[in-house]
Amino acid sequence: MSTALVKQVKIYDTTLRDGSQAEDISFSVEDKIRIAQRLDDLGIHYVEGGWPGSNPRDQQFFKEAIHYHFKKAKIVSFGSTARPGTLPEKDHNLRSLISSKTPAVTIFGKAWDIHVREALRIDLSENLHLVSQSLEFLKNHFSEVMFDAEHFFDAYKANYQYALEVLKRAQDAGVDSIILCDTNGGTLCHELQEIIKDVKKHIHVPLGIHTHNDSDLAVANTILAVQLGITQVQGTINGLGERCGNANLCSIIPDLKLKLNIDCIPAENLTKLCDASRFVYELANMQPLRHQPFVGSSAFAHKAGVHVSAIKRKPETYEHIKPEQVGNIQRVLISDLAGKSNILYKAKEFNIDISSKDPEVQEILNNLKEMENKGYQFEGAEASFEILMNEALGKKRKYFNLVGFRVINEKRMDEQPLCEATIMVDVGGEAEHTAALGNGPVNALDNALRKALEKFYPQIKETELIDYKVRVLDSGQGTASKVRVLIETGDKKDKWGTVGVSENIIEASWQALVDSISYKLYKDEKKKITAKTS
């Protein structure tokens, strides 16, 4: 099939809304801001932030997002057509979209007659009126308005005349693009192909595609839609989403870019895809899928002797692309042939001067493997990894030493628990002993540590603990399980992640807290040195 119809495709990410609807996923506002920034850095065109009319968390996200600069991405608010019997200007949902102050907006409307009759319980003609009125109203407030035709492919199969009329009403209302949604994820490729061909005879505004993966065809259907002339692709990082998930952008983007030579994100950003995938997994508190195409740790892993022998001579014998193109690496299992390139890549990113010939590279690699075996993971904890590298190079400065700490949890009757931490640290031979309260043991320990160090390092007052996550690593051990703690800290300019691992949750938290404060002091010190030499 010819791809001449499409030279460029715009990527529309809905991880922060559709992705968060997946079972066991709940992004905080800070998570959503960090993911939006990472998606912007990847070169995504649209980042759908959520539905401001449905919950306070999404409202807060849009209030926060307006204070951040996004280089490429347009932040998009999402909602629905006005409620039946409500004028658009009086509709709470539409008013919330306007209040979000985003440069673009997307609303969905019913295209399937069964949903109009059974879900909305209104006449088919009234639904058409809702679509027209809602979109016309939004076009008066936004420079870009997109319309999601919900359940469109099922709608077309049930009543194609009505489904097409919904699209025509959206087109007549002046929308900038219409997205055809396979909301139930049950459409087969040949069905999708015939339906899109017919739609293009009637609709002349740019079309998008939004597929779900209930038939394991979301990526295939999306690629096929692009080959048929669709110019906007919607999906989520790692395919996160309700039920079986959404179309996986981590597969779609390299398929478009590397297989079809279609412009979708900047070529130089494709190498960031693997990191973006793992970053979202970490903030979602999920274990990355090892066997995920393109970005999984097993995607370019080789074990069989015949395979290993072949790839040493010519990698393409068992690799469909170069793993480095998407930021992944080739791995030879039960071997140390892979890994150094990752160390050197991160060293360059951290402005650490090191070459492949330096023995410290192997030492860092060995330390990394040993720590990963213990449960450490450095996606989302880049600050801890930079500290690890500096330690191997003999450049790690110890800003303080722990003499000891004690954390007390007290619970009386129906009162709220009381947490107190007492700590003693040594800074340059001077001991500091202090105590602090907190709304939990980790918060109390964090407060006590800061209180003890602020006398010596006043800049610590600028920092705050933004996020705190705990993951059980070996759940079979029950309450004696080893845990991994991920902490996000920020100051006025930056945010950074640190990690700790232990069977004792307080000890794991302590490790992450120490790295967090040490990184702040190291970062400030490095900036001063750079300023002096420049």
Task: Give start and end residues of each alpha helix (H) in 80-188.
Answer: 92-99, 113-115, 124-139, 152-172
The answer regarding whether domain 401-533 maps to CATH 2.40.10.10 reads: no
Q: How many CB atoms lie within 10 A of CB 359?
A: 8
The DSSP bridge pattern shows strands 401-410 and 232-235 to be unpaired
Tell me the three state secondary structure of residue 192: helix
CB 419 within 8 A of CB 409: yes
Tell me the three state secondary structure of residue 490: strand
Question: What are 18's two structure tokens?
Answer: 């559709």
Q: What's the confidence (pLDDT) of residue 129?
A: 96
Provide the residue-wise pLDDT of the chain in tens; the chain has 534 residues. Answer: 444 468 899 999 999 999 999 998 999 999 999 999 999 999 999 999 999 978 899 999 999 999 999 999 999 999 999 999 999 999 999 999 999 999 999 999 999 999 999 999 999 999 999 999 999 999 999 999 999 999 999 999 999 999 999 999 999 999 999 999 999 999 999 999 999 999 999 999 999 999 999 999 999 999 999 999 999 999 999 999 999 999 999 999 999 999 999 999 999 999 999 999 999 999 998 988 989 999 998 898 876 656 666 767 788 888 899 999 999 988 665 333 335 655 665 677 677 777 767 787 788 878 877 887 788 877 678 888 888 888 888 888 899 999 999 999 888 877 788 899 999 999 999 999 999 999 889 999 999 999 999 999 999 999 988 889 898 887 666 666 789 999 999 988 888 999 999 999 999 999 999 999 999 999 888 888 766 766
Strands (E), 31-88: 46-50, 74-80
Q: What's the confidence (pLDDT) of residue 394?
A: 83
Calculated CA dihedral for residues 12, 23, 83, 49, nearest 10 degrees: -30
The DSSP bridge pattern shows strands 401-410 and 144-150 to be unpaired
Which phi-psi region, left, alpha or beta, contains residue 29 (left: φ > 0; alpha: ψ -120 to 50)?
alpha
Q: What's the confidence (pLDDT) of residue 452?
A: 94
Q: Where are the domains of the chain?
A: 10-283, 401-533
Measured between alpha carbons, how far is 355 from 282 in angstroms, rounded to an integer? 29
Q: How many CB atoms lie within 10 A of CB 476?
A: 7
Axis crossing angle, helix 273-283 with helix 29-42, rounded to the nearest 10: 170
pTM score over 0.85: no
Q: What's the confidence (pLDDT) of residue 3?
A: 44
Secondary structure string (H, E, C) spanning 338-360: CCHHHHHHHHHHCCCCCCCCCHH
CA angle (66, 69, 75) in 5-degree steps: 55
For tokens 């996004």, what's the residue? 70
**Identical topology for domains 10-283 and 401-533:** no
Measured between alpha carbons, how far is 362 from 172 in angstroms, rounded to an integer? 64
For tokens 């794991």, what's the residue? 508
Tell the CATH superfamily of the 10-283 domain: Aldolase class I (3.20.20.70)
CB 249 within 8 A of CB 236: yes
Q: Alpha carbon 138 to chain centroid distance?
A: 28
Axis crossing angle, helix 340-349 with helix 359-374, rounded to the nearest 10: 100
Question: What are 36's two structure tokens?
Answer: 């939006």
Which phi-psi region, left, alpha or beta, contains residue 339 (left: φ > 0; alpha: ψ -120 to 50)?
left
Establish how many alpha carbons lie within 13 A of residue 446's alpha carbon, considering only the half-sphere containing its beta carbon: 24
